[in-house]
C-alpha cells in the first residue's frame, strides 16, 4: 500500500511492516516502562501494562487528512484496494516484529529480565498506530482473535464507519472515537474527509455509542485557536452520545503536523485542564485523572 521510498522513511523511524497492509511500532512509553522510569497514561487511567502493549495498525491508509496528525496523510483514500491478510497472520507478524524491536533491551542492566520477558508476550493491543483501522475489512475477526489470545484491545476510529461498528461481532475493550471538530464546518476544513457524507457518518457513529456494551471514550485533541473555544459544542456532543469517558489531550507539534500547524497551536497542560473543566461544568462528567507530562485529562460520568 505504500511506495518503497515512504516505507524506507518509516522503517528508519522504527516502523515494521507486516504482510500487505499492517504495521507495528514500539511507543516511547513501552521503553520508559521497561526501564522502570514511567508508564503511559493509559496504564494510569485504565490499568493496562505499558510494557506489554502492542501498538499496531491493520490499515496503512486513512480517509481523512487531519491537519494535526503527526503522520504522513498522503495515503488518502475512500476505499480499500488490494489483498486482505488473515487476522492470525497479522497478529503473529506484529508480535514477532515487536520482539525484534525490543531485543536490544536484553543488554540493558536497567531493564528487569522478568519485565522484558513479559514485554515479549504482549497482552494489550493499541489498534491505533496510523491510518483508520476500520478500513480493514476483517476488523471484527481481528478483535476476536486478539481476545481469543487474552488480549485487551483499545481501538481508535475517526467514526466514519458506523456500519462496520454495527457489524462487529465482538467489541474492543475500549472504543475510542476521535472528534476534533464538533461542527460540520470545522470538521470539513480541519479534517478534510475523502467522502462527502463523512460528517453524517460520524453522526451515525455517535448515535450508536450509548447502545454499545463496552467502554467508550470520546477523544479530543485540543488545539489552541482551533477548537478549544468550542466547549459548549463538545459538551453537547458528549451528552448526546453518552460516552463513558472523555479524554482531552494536547496536540503535539511533532512529525508531519509541523508542516501544517504552528507550534503555538500546542496547548499547555494547564489549558487542557481548563478546557476539560469547562466541559465538566456543562455536563455530568467530572475530572477523574490526569497526566501532566502527556498533557491529558480524563473525565467520566
Q: 97: domain CATH number?
A: 3.20.20.70
pLDDT tens per residue, range 19-71: 999 999 999 999 999 999 999 999 999 999 999 999 999 999 999 999 999 88
Q: Given this model, what pLDDT does residue 111 score?
A: 94
Q: Given this model, what pLDDT does residue 1 score?
A: 64
Query: Which of the 8 DSSP states describes residue 76?
Result: B
CA distances from residue 67 to 56, 103, 123, 266 in whole angstroms, order as listed: 22, 35, 32, 13
Domain count within the chain: 1
Given a cut of 80, is residue 3 above it in pLDDT?
no
Q: What torsion do the CA atoms of 23, 156, 153, 26 make, to the nearest 10 degrees?
A: 40
Q: Given this model, what pLDDT does residue 162 score?
A: 98
- Would residue 60 be called left, alpha or beta, if left means φ above 0 and alpha means ψ between -120 and 50 degrees? alpha
pLDDT tens per residue, range 149-205: 999 999 999 999 999 999 999 999 999 999 999 999 999 999 999 999 999 999 999
pLDDT tens per residue, range 237-277: 999 999 999 999 999 999 888 999 999 999 999 999 999 99
pLDDT tens per residue, range 84-118: 999 999 999 999 999 999 999 999 989 999 999 99
Expressed as residue numbers, the domain containing 63 is 4-300
Amino acid at each position: 500500500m505504500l511506495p518503497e521510498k515512504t516505507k524506507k522513511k518509516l522503517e528508519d523511524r522504527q516502523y515494521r511492516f507486516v504482510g500487505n497492509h499492517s504495521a507495528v511500532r514500539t511507543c516511547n512509553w513501552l521503553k520508559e516502562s521497561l526501564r522502570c522510569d514511567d508508564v503511559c497514561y493509559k496504564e494510569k487511567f485504565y490499568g493496562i501494562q505499558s510494557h506489554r502493549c502492542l501498538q499496531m495498525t491493520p490499515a496503512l491508509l486513512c480517509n481523512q487528512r487531519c491537519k494535526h496528525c503527526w503522520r504522513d496523510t498522503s495515503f488518502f483514500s475512500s476505499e480499500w484496494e488490494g489483498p486482505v491478510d488473515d487476522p492470525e497472520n497479522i497478529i503473529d507478524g506484529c508480535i514477532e516484529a515487536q520482539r525484534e524491536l525490543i531485543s536490544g533491551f536484553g543488554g540493558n542492566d536497567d531493564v528487569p529480565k522478568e519485565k522484558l520477558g513479559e514485554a515479549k508476550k504482549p497482552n494489550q493491543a493499541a489498534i491505533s498506530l496510523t491510518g483508520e483501522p476500520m478500513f480493514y475489512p476483517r476488523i471484527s475477526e481481528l478483535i476476536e482473535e486478539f481476545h481469543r489470545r487474552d488480549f485487551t484491545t483499545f481501538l481508535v476510529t475517526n467514526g466514519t464507519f458506523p456500519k462496520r461498528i454495527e457489524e462487529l461481532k465482538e467489541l474492543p475493550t475500549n472504543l475510542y472515537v476521535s472528534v476534533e471538530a464538533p461542527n460540520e464546518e470545522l470538521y470539513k476544513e480541519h479534517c478534510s474527509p475523502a467522502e462527502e457524507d463523512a460528517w453524517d457518518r460520524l453522526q451515525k457513529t455517535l448515535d450508536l455509542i450509548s447502545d454499545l456494551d463496552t467502554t467508550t471514550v470520546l477523544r479530543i485533541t485540543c488545539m489552541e485557536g482551533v477548537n478549544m473555544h468550542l466547549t459548549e459544542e463538545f459538551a453537547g456532543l458528549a451528552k448526546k452520545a453518552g460516552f463513558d469517558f472523555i479524554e482531552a489531550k494536547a496536540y503535539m507539534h511533532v512529525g508531519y503536523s509541523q508542516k501544517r500547524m504552528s507550534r503555538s497551536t500546542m496547548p499547555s497542560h494547564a489549558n487542557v485542564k481548563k478546557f476539560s473543566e469547562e466541559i465538566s461544568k456543562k455536563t455530568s462528567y467530572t475530572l477523574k485523572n490526569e497526566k501532566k507530562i502527556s498533557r491529558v485529562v480524563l473525565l467520566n460520568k
